Amino acid sequence: MTNTQRTFAIIKPDAVTSGHQGGILAKIQESGLRVVALKSLRLSQTQAEGFYAVHSARPFFGSLVTFMTEGPVVAMVLEGENAIQRWRDLMGPTDATKAPKHTLRGTYGTSIERNATHGSDAPDTAAYEIGYFFSGLELAGL
């Protein structure tokens, strides 16, 4: 019995601006996860606020929106066995200063906010986040 899943991933503006998207994509491929959709875009304030609406009451919401709109991001759909947990393990803890050096956040992140990557935390979150960034047409046949 297999547990093939899809998960959503973002390479955040700090990592894109620093030129680390290639290194992050290489680590994804080395991990055995498959990139089934990928696009580069720059989020508007409205798009970032919508994506992070779940955090709208939190004190860090404003700075998170500002950060996520300061430069381009790379949005991806990843697929593989237990993809959600595997991507989260590859990323490491949210706070990059506490992330092991072999993780993406430990390698490329600098703080709890500027932590290089984002990933879905559960199947329902992954479905919502994938749908927020990718249309059915973009994922058809993949």
Whole-number average pLDDT of the chain:
95
The stretches of the chain forming alpha helices (DSSP H) are 13-17, 21-30, 45-51, 61-68, 83-91, 104-108, 123-133, 136-139
Domains and CATH numbers, the chain: 4-134 (3.30.70.141)
- Dihedral of CA atoms 78, 23, 97, 39 in degrees, nearest 10, equals -40
pLDDT confidence of residue 2:
74
Q: Is 118 considered catalytic here?
A: yes
Catalytic entry in 20, 55, 102, 118: 118
**Span 32-75, pLDDT tens digits:** 999 999 999 999 999 999 999 999 999 999 999 999 999 999 99
pLDDT at 139: 87
Mean pLDDT of 74-85: 97
Q: Minimal CA–CA distance to 73: which of 17, 132, 23?
A: 17
78 contacts 7 by C-beta, under 8 angstroms: yes
Q: What is the pTM of this model?
A: 0.93
